[in-house]
Amino acid sequence: MTVEYTKNGPTKIAYETFGDPSGEPLLLIMGLDFQMVYWPDDFCRMLVDRGFFVARFDNRDAGLSEHFTSAQQRHPIAALFRRDRTPAYTGEDMVGDGLAVMDALGWKSAHVAGASLGSFLAIATALGHPDRVRSLALLLATPSGMRASLRYIQFGFIAKMGKIKHPDTDEGAIQTLVDISRAQSSPRNPVDLAWAREVAEIAHRRAPRDQSGTQRQLAAVRSYPGLAARRLPVSAPTIIVNGADDPLLRGPAAAKALAKAIPGSTAKIVPGMGHDLPAALWSQLADDIAANAGMSHHS
């Protein structure tokens, strides 16, 4: 894949595309901390088979996009609960990064799919820029607004993640990413460890994980206004797809609550899906995204 770069103001954003530019535009927004390579290449190709021209990008503070620094170091869990008075950037800035990729590709509007924290950004894009969003697929999602989403987080899992400790070496950093992928997957569809290692090696080579970036991304999303409303006036056709076995979120309850907030949306709970995109479910997920976008399957 050829990495392209665009800018949102002074901020450099890295992106890649799959498929034919004549396809239906689809922007993929990744979650907290994760690089765009965690949208698996083969899953992106399945979306291409369904008629999409796919773009994925690194959020700021991840991968090959611009990285920032924080004046104050704070544990990511503290960042969940405490508003940062001087965030390095805002949720609006993060939304703008996705729009900058669309602009670079000449897309006036696109279908948008977000995973985990990426689903917050997808909703924020649809609320702030409704003319630019054709349809919305929210994967591994919670009700928007940080306080509302906290109700659905399984904090025991976050504590478990905090115990993953490896030596401060390249191999240790890669193994940490593999362990996170393994922990996020469902026992019914465990992550393919060969893929998890391969993508962890790619991600580490692109940019080693910086935990202060976690804090900054969380602070940005916290700062976004309007996401906590009980009713979110999203006009684009919306599907919410959560895993029945999500170890991080109470997936089924979160999907139902979010569906209640977005009029006309559809919630789907997938058995055997954790807080990840397991290979066994790619075809089904691609079908769901295409159907919600009003596209009939053709490969």
pTM reported for the whole predicted model:
0.95
Instruction: Please write the tens of the pLDDT for every residue from 140-196.
Output: 999 876 667 888 999 899 888 888 999 999 999 999 999 999 999 999 999 999 999
- The span from the CA of 288 to the CA of 240, in Å, is 10
pLDDT at 230 over 50: yes
Instruction: Using the predicted structure, report yes or no on whether residue 77 has a pLDDT greater than 60.
Output: no
**Residue 65 pLDDT > 90:** yes
Q: Strand order of the sheet with strand 52-57?
A: 4-8, 11-18, 52-57, 24-29, 110-115, 133-139, 238-243, 266-270
